[in-house]
């Protein structure tokens, strides 16, 4: 029976605890009604719900109190029915808008107005009032707010009243329906409600004990903390202080200030206006309006308005499949209410500004051909030929091509290896600093322009973005950061994950470095350095915050394929990079940008502003739940292992010591602490499943077992693992299906093994060994080095990738060499230099780039991997390498281009 000492850690979050407690109530009430249960059980549950429901408008505390009265009056039948109603209403979400919900004896407080009962789905939210009202005043406020409602209001809300700052924070943390907060000046801080049953979920708030700050400052303080937790929620302040007496920060942190004497109607309309502003989707709306207008098309695009489709006798099915609206919205027009992506001045400009607000950037640019392109845009915009870029070698191939395009000299950084899984982790900070110091020693630091890292990596390893930026800026205060957040667009909508996003950290550091406190901290830091020790804090007089992030909106948020955004937080953008950015953007942007993709990004932005907090938390929860299911199910754990945080991140990078999100004995772990302290964290929505024990390699498991047999689609594999991802569209149902499929596969494997004869069994054991023995895993080769012809400067990292790339354009400068012949030549001390990129999938990054010296490790890796797809390598021809002549070398008996090599 849940009481104050209930093991609440068995629930991932308070929302789950809440729905579980309501479910328990339903069962306990039903037992009671059937003469079996114990009233004390129901009483305990209702006591917990009275605490929990303080933070929700529906069903809220009034309902719980009525249920308590029913219990007291032994009205068990009504109690059971009422609990059932509430549970049904909560799980369906019907209380938000469905007129049928009105039949409920516990109808939501926002009784729908007459014509709204017709409406299928109203947009519902909750407004939090932080005010020391007594019960009668609270009731009066609710009645007066209800009177403010107009039947034409596009949205509907219920008020919730809490009386302390701490309760307000708990409400914001738990209740994703809250979209607006009205804070009364001078609130008390401390609450007792968040102790007891909710204590496991309020750690983030308990850590912020601010009770000594003085009651008068609590309103503005709450606004500041809210900005951190839930920046998308509108904040309003009710005070008596005249505007002239308010601090700038107070004016900045609230959307609007109200005075006690002001009309409640005005407040109501302002709340509605705030919601409307987030709801607006300028480009999507413009496109919808455009598609409704009668239009004669005397321009390109026969498909526009479906003209070439619906009149056709042969492609009707195409039209039917996509529906008429898609074609009505297809146009090449940039006028008539629409806009041009190349020079936006209307709805597209506005849509990008709204995205900048939502994603916390100074500027946001949309792109319609993926992060493959936005990466190239940013690199080309910021880097000139000969500039040096520190770049993780296992980054997406678009960056390597970006180096070729821009003429930058890449200094390839090494991620720590995870040999057991044939994977890489991410680049340790000390390695980045070492490279910078080497470049400084070689008098090249002034040419260093950019640090380019992937966050999160495909496998879900997440950098400590703040630590990396701070300690890199300490050595190179004007470096530009490009964070490839292709997989990380959703992270900005969880307060835990947001701490490790480029835009959040950029804004935070820019603020921090301008404060007198930081200047003092820096001075003390420099003074405290021992001889030979390098600074770890940047010089506040020199540091510039220049941060770019590219996000594949389509990968993790609502957007059609290829929707990508560039977010910029650059103090020097206007002064130094706006023109070059514009040129690079023009270079890569189509003059016929796809409007459907652009509209979907506009709508995707609206969605995350309203629902991001809820949906991302759900995606995280489902990711953690899947891990737990696989780790705890006897049948599943016989065949599969979850690759844990401890497996993905070596001890020295996990200062918190936390090695897993969930432990059977301890429940959900302190994820907040790991995310705040550790050098690397693991994205909880990425679940790496180790398949080694099945004897099936990752690729076969993906294609044969998951896709062909069960229609489950995944993307990434390694030699002995597959990667599952949860996202804002994942449901508990889809998770249940995946679990069912894994159980089915487990059964199939049992059957397979039972049928093994001796020889089969021996082969099977050998296969398992090949996949699981760390010594038998082909070791991922590090970047060797650039050949001396392409080295920027001997002894200094970095090389001229672009020259090598273009040198290979003439066929006579290149030959092909088979892998075994290459090994022989290397044995004869012959230097082989790659003329092309060689990219095996998996792992999906180049093991060779043009100009790179080939070594035995690389050849052995290529010989050992059994993948079918290797871009830039044709097995029948071999590796493409430069001839001696191309490299300006003397010919010898084993000259390349002479004896062994075979011309194409
Ligand atoms: C790290 C990284 N960056 C960029 C990209 C390219 O993104 P897009 O598919 O949006 O072109 C990918 C694609 O998988 C990726 O993994």
Query: Which of 366, 369, 397, 398 to mutate for ligand 1's pocket (most ligand atoms within 8 Å of CB)?
Result: 398
- The CA 139 to ligand 1 mean position distance, Å, reads 53
Centre a 10 Å sphere on the Cβ of residue 46 and count the other Cβ atoms it contains.
Answer: 22
**CB of 483 closer than 6 angstroms to any ligand 1 atom:** no
Q: Is 551 in the pocket of ligand 1 (CB under 6 A)?
A: no
Q: Is 367 in the pocket of ligand 1 (CB under 6 A)?
A: no
CA 458 to ligand 1 center in whole angstroms: 9
Q: CA 864 to CA 398: how far, in whole Å? A: 26
Q: Is the CB of 556 under 6 A from ligand 1?
A: no
Q: Indicate whether residue 457 lines ligand 1 (CB < 6 A).
A: no
Ligand 1 pocket test, pick from 366, 454, 486 with the greatest ligand atom count within 8 Å of Cβ, gives: 486
CA of 488 to the centre of ligand 1 (A): 11
CA separation for the pair 564, 374 (Å, rounded): 7
Instruction: Give the whole-angstrom CA distance, residue 318 versus residue 341.
Output: 28
Report whether residue 392 contacts ligand 1, using a CB cutoff of 6 Å: no
Tell me, using a 6 A CB cutoff, whether residue 369 lines ligand 1: no
Going from the first residue of the chain to its last (904 residues), give the mean pLDDT of each consecutive group of 10, the final group possibly shorter. 43 82 94 90 93 89 92 93 89 67 52 54 87 90 88 87 90 92 86 68 68 72 87 92 79 86 87 96 95 76 89 94 93 82 95 97 97 97 96 94 95 93 94 97 95 95 98 98 98 94 97 96 97 96 98 97 98 96 96 95 98 94 91 91 94 92 67 89 94 89 90 86 94 92 91 81 84 80 91 82 94 94 93 94 86 94 82 92 85 49 40
* C-beta 486 within 6 A of ligand 1: yes
Ligand 1 centroid vs 553 CA: distance in angstroms? 10
Q: Which two tokens stand for residue 718?
A: 């390694």
List CB contacts of 311: < 8 A, sequence separation 6 or more.
Answer: none
pLDDT of residue 754: 82
CA distance 816 to 833: 11
Ligand 1 close to Cβ of residue 550 (< 6 A): no
Q: How far does residue 800's CA lie from ligand 1's centre (Å)?
A: 24
Strand pairing class (791-793; 796-799): antiparallel
* The two three-digit tokens of residue 26, written as one number: 């339903």
Residue pair 731/695 in contact (Cβ under 8 Å)? The answer is: no
Q: From the CA of 370, how far away is ligand 1's center (Å)? A: 7
pLDDT in tens, 438-493: 999 999 999 999 999 999 999 999 999 999 999 999 999 999 999 999 999 999 99
State in Å: Cα 730 to ligand 1 middle: 21
* Helical (H) or strand (E) element with 180: strand 178-184
Question: How many C-alpha atoms does 735 have within 13 Å on its Cβ side?
Answer: 23
CA of 484 to the centre of ligand 1 (A): 8
**How far does the centroid of ligand 1 lie from the alpha carbon of residue 396, in Å?**
6
Distance (Å, rounded) from C-alpha 602 to C-alpha 572?
27
pLDDT in tens, 159-187: 999 998 888 988 998 899 999 999 988 78
Retrieve residue 240's tokens: 């008596």
- Note the pTM of the prediction, 2 decimals: 0.92
| Rounded Cα gap, residues 831 and 32, in angstroms | 83
């Amino acid at each position: 029976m849940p009481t104050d000492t209930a093991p609440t850690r068995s629930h991932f979050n308070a929302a789950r605890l809440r729905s579980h407690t309501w479910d328990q109530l339903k069962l306990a009430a039903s037992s009671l009604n059937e003469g079996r249960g114990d009233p004390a059980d129901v009483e305990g549950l209702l006591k917990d719900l009275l605490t929990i429901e303080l933070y929700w408008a529906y069903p809220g505390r009034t309902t719980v109190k009525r249920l308590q009265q029913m219990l007291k009056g032994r009205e068990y039948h009504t109690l059971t029915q009422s609990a059932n109603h509430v549970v049904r209403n909560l799980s369906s979400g019907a209380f938000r808008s469905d007129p049928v919900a009105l039949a409920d004896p516990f109808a939501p407080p926002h009784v729908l107005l007459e014509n709204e009962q017709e409406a299928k789905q109203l947009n519902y939210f909750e407004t939090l009032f932080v005010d020391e009202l007594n019960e009668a005043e609270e009731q009066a406020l609710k009645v007066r707010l209800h009177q403010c409602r107009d039947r034409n209001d596009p949205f509907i809300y219920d008020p919730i009243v809490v009386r302390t700052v701490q309760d307000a924070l708990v409400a914001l943390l738990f209740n994703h329906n809250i979209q607006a907060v009205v804070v009364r000046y001078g609130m008390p801080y401390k609450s007792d409600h968040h102790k007891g049953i909710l204590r496991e979920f309020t750690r983030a708030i308990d850590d912020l004990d601010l009770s000594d700050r003085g009651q008068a400052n609590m309103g503005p303080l709450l606004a500041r903390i809210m900005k951190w937790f839930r920046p998308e929620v509108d904040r309003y302040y009710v005070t008596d202080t005249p505007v002239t007496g308010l601090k700038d920060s107070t004016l900045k942190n609230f959307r609007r200030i109200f005075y006690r004497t002001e009309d409640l109607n005005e407040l109501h309309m302002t709340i509605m206006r705030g919601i409307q502003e987030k709801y607006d989707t300028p480009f999507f709306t413009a496109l919808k309006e455009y598609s409704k207008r009668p239009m004669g098309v005397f321009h390109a695009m026969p498909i526009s308005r479906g003209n070439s489709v619906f009149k056709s006798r042969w492609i009707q099915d195409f039209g039917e499949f996509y529906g008429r609206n898609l074609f009505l919205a297809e146009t090449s027009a940039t006028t008539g209410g629409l806009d041009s992506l190349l020079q936006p001045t209307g709805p597209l400009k506005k849509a990008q500004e709204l995205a900048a607000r939502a994603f916390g950037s100074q500027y946001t640019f949309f792109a319609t051909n993926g992060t493959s392109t936005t990466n190239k845009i940013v690199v080309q915009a910021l880097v000139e030929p000969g500039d040096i870029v520190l770049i993780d070698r296992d980054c997406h191939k678009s960056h390597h091509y970006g180096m070729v395009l821009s003429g930058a000299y890449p200094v390839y950084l090494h991620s720590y290896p995870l040999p057991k899984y044939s994977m890489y982790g991410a680049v340790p900070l000390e390695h980045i600093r070492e490279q910078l110091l080497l470049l400084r020693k070689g008098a090249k630091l002034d040419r260093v322009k950019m640090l380019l890292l992937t966050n999160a990596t495909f496998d879900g390893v997440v950098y400590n973005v703040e630590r990396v930026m701070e300690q890199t800026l300490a050595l190179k205060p004007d470096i530009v950061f490009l964070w490839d957040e292709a997989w990380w667009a959703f992270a900005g909508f969880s307060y835990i994950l947001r701490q490790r996003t480029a835009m959040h950290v950029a804004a935070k550091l820019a603020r921090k470095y301008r404060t007198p406190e930081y200047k003092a901290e820096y001075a003390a830091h420099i003074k405290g350095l021992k001889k030979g020790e390098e600074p770890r804090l940047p010089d506040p007089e020199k540091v510039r915050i220049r941060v770019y992030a590219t996000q594949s909106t389509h990968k993790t948020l609502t957007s059609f394929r290829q929707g990508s955004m560039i977010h910029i937080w650059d103090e020097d953008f206007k002064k130094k990079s706006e023109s070059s950015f514009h040129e690079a953007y023009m270079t890569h942007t189509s003059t016929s940008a796809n409007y459907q993709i652009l509209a979907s990004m506009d709508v995707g932005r609206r969605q995350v502003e309203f629902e991001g907090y809820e949906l991302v938390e759900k995606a995280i929860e489902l990711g953690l739940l899947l891990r737990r299911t696989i780790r705890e199910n006897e049948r599943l754990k016989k065949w599969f292992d979850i690759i844990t945080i401890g497996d993905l991140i070596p001890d020295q990078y996990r200062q918190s010591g936390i090695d897993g999100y969930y432990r059977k004995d301890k429940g959900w772990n302190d994820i907040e602490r790991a995310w705040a302290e550790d050098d690397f964290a693991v994205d909880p929505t990425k679940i790496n499943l180790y398949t080694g024990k099945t004897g099936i390699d990752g690729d076969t498991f993906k294609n044969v077992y998951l896709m062909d047999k069960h229609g489950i689609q995944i993307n990434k594999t390694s030699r002995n693992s597959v990667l599952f991802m949860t996202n804002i569209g994942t449901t508990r149902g889809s998770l249940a299906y995946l679990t069912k499929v894994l159980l089915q596969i487990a059964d199939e494997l049992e059957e397979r093994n039972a049928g093994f004869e001796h020889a089969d069994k021996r082969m099977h054991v050998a296969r398992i060994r090949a996949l699981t023995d760390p010594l038998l895993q082909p070791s991922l080769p590090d970047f060797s080095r650039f050949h001396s012809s392409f080295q920027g400067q001997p002894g200094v990292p970095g090389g001229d990738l672009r020259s090598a790339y273009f040198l290979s354009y003439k066929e006579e400068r290149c030959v092909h060499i088979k892998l075994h012949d290459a090994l022989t030549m290397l044995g004869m001390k012959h230097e082989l230099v790659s003329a092309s990129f060689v990219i095996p999938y998996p792992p999906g990054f180049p093991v060779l780039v043009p100009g790179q010296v080939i070594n035995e490790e690389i050849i052995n890796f290529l010989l050992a991997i059994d993948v079918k797809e290797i871009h830039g390598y044709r097995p029948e021809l071999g590796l493409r390498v430069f001839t001696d002549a191309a490299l300006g070398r003397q010919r010898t008996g084993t000259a390349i281009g002479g004896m062994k090599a075979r011309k194409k």
